Amino acid sequence: MRIALGQLNLTVGDLGGNVDSLAAWTREAAGHDADLICFPELAITGYPPEDLVLRPSFVEANLEAVVELARRAAGGPAVLVGFVDRTDRGLHNAAALLRDGQVEARYHKHQLPNYGVFDEKRYFVPGETGCRLRVADATLGISVCEDAWWPDAPFDEYAGRVQVIPNINGSPYHRRKTHERLEICAARARQTGAWIVYVNLIGGQDELVFDGGSMVVSPDGELAWHAPDFEEDLLVVDVPGTGDGERKPSLPDPTREPWPTGPEEVYRAVVLGVGDYVRKNGFGQVVVGLSGGIDSSMTATMAADALGPEAVRALAMPSPYSSPESVEDAREVAGRLGIRLDVVPIGAVFDSYRGALAEVLSGRGAGVTEENLQARIRGNYLMAVSNAFGSIVLATGNKSELAVGYSTLYGDLAGGFAPLKDVPKTLVYELARWRNKQTDPPPIPERVLEKPPSAELRPGQLDTDSLPPYEVLDPIVEAYVEDDRSPEDLIAEGADPAMVRRIVEMIDRAEYKRRQAPPGVKITPKAFGRDRRMPITNAYRGRPLSPPASTPPRPDGAAEEGD
């Protein structure tokens, strides 16, 4: 049988627009003489619809949309599409088989994930039976996403009884996940003796990015064909069936470039997430504070790649402590990217703030208060441009800074979206070096890559005045945050006890600040916010490692601004 895998970029809640896209892709599959086209999980509603499914009117509209798609697909291939079904048992994450203008069959997802970014038991009840049906000369067994991650129902029911198992997905990206999926599909293929047709969504949805990577795996567990990552694609393949009828003309083997790995896959994920967040929320332009440091340079570069340079506006906002080289570097980055840059010094406003507060703050020396004032002035400038031109501010902080609170509330944390929110500082440098190899001239000058990171909020300031080197910090953040390793584990493995204690205390102390950070693209297995949900008010610190730190938290919990 000939199967088309429709790897689409859909929009949550846009039922009419989603049906238009699905119908158009069905017509394209008909032009390839396909017997069946498979679309992603919850393609009708967009994924994940979250609390929209608690609105009866939304569920009803989605059911009407399925019927409308069936009507518009009549005369073409059979269509397998995800939607929200409703029975007397409750709501179901479901798949419908549409044929001859009718909803011929419905399947309800058995395995409902309830971990990490998934919360499906909040909305759905699990299915109870499989769904086997005949299309062309093959027997199909329908499944949805998480079903494939378990050898139980419905796959135990399908083993030896079907030739093809479509598995429709809304599987969000994190680093190196594509090969995890391939291993799962291979395991289910060998278990059932069937072809696994894995169809995934692509596109950005709030913090999540869906990377595609749709694939067909043979019964012996080998990858037969695959779609690309991070772009829409219609993959059409001939899968052997069981009939003796006349075979269709054989397709040439669909060939695609190898899936990206390393910095490239992360870079493409973030660019896709930024572009879709901006476009799908109705913005035509972004504004970035461009300091001449690595984080803001990387953010501006990603924005220009995602939206085009004409949609990116940058502000350089030097303070009395900014070096001339920083402004020069900001100009150079903007020039190489072709984006607009306005230089708006903050010195006069900074002086006025200090003058207005002189009596209130008298009797104390200058310190973090004055440093954070500069960051907050910059936040006000960026939001003013946002208000004036209808643009969205992109915050430039990275995961390392967010983890330990090295950022300023209402300053560099201000913004509508944070592209680097889940990208550790050491990885930011890897991304920059990879991106620099893709074009000539490279967007980020070598001086930006080589100079020590500094917030430049006081004379001679370096990030290492307040933080461990990022090469030391990032592995501890990854172990404690992403892997849920205890401080005792890390120390037992040879990490410096004082360093572990210091970093863990900073991470725990900064929770309330992270709760106020903008959303950003998830690229690790455990991102702040969407994945990791710690209580703000929390006295648990594990077994004591030492007497309490002698330095209390700063009153606003803010460290100096990063980058």
CA 136 – CA 354 distance, rounded (Å): 77
Question: Is 41 marked active-site?
Answer: yes
Contacts of 185 by beta carbon, 8 Å cutoff, 6+ apart: 148, 167, 196, 198, 215, 217
How much of the chain is helix, strand and coil, in % rounded to 5? 40, 20, 45
**Residue 414 to residues 195, 226, 288, 292, 380, Cα–Cα distance (Å):** 49, 40, 11, 18, 9
Nearest to 134 by CA among 243, 6, 247: 243
In which region does residue 332 sit, left (phi positive, over 0), alpha (psi from -120 to 50) or beta (all else)? alpha
Nearest to 115 by CA among 533, 542, 519: 533
As given in the structure block, the two tokens for residue 544 are 């004591």
Q: Are 360 and 383 in contact (CB under 8 A)?
A: no
Q: Are 4 and 37 in contact (CB under 8 A)?
A: yes
Task: Reduce the DSSP state of residue 311 to 3 states and report it.
Answer: helix
Contacts of 32 by beta carbon, 8 Å cutoff, 6+ apart: 2, 4, 234, 236, 251
Question: Is 145 marked active-site?
Answer: yes
Q: Are 65 and 112 in contact (CB under 8 A)?
A: no
Residue with tokens 């006295």, as numbered in its chain = 539
**Among 38, 41, 370, 561, which one carries the catalytic annotation?**
41
**Among 38, 131, 145, 185, which one carries the catalytic annotation?**
145
Q: Are 422 and 521 in contact (CB under 8 A)?
A: yes
Q: Are 506 and 471 in contact (CB under 8 A)?
A: no
CA 381 – CA 342 distance, rounded (Å): 11
b/e sequence 458-493, b meaning 16+ C-beta within 10 Å:
beebebeebbbebeebbebbbbbbbeebebeebbee
Residue with tokens 């079904």, as numbered in its chain = 85
**Among 109, 280, 421, 425, which one carries the catalytic annotation?**
109
Question: Is 248 marked active-site?
Answer: no
Catalytic site residues?
Answer: 41, 109, 145
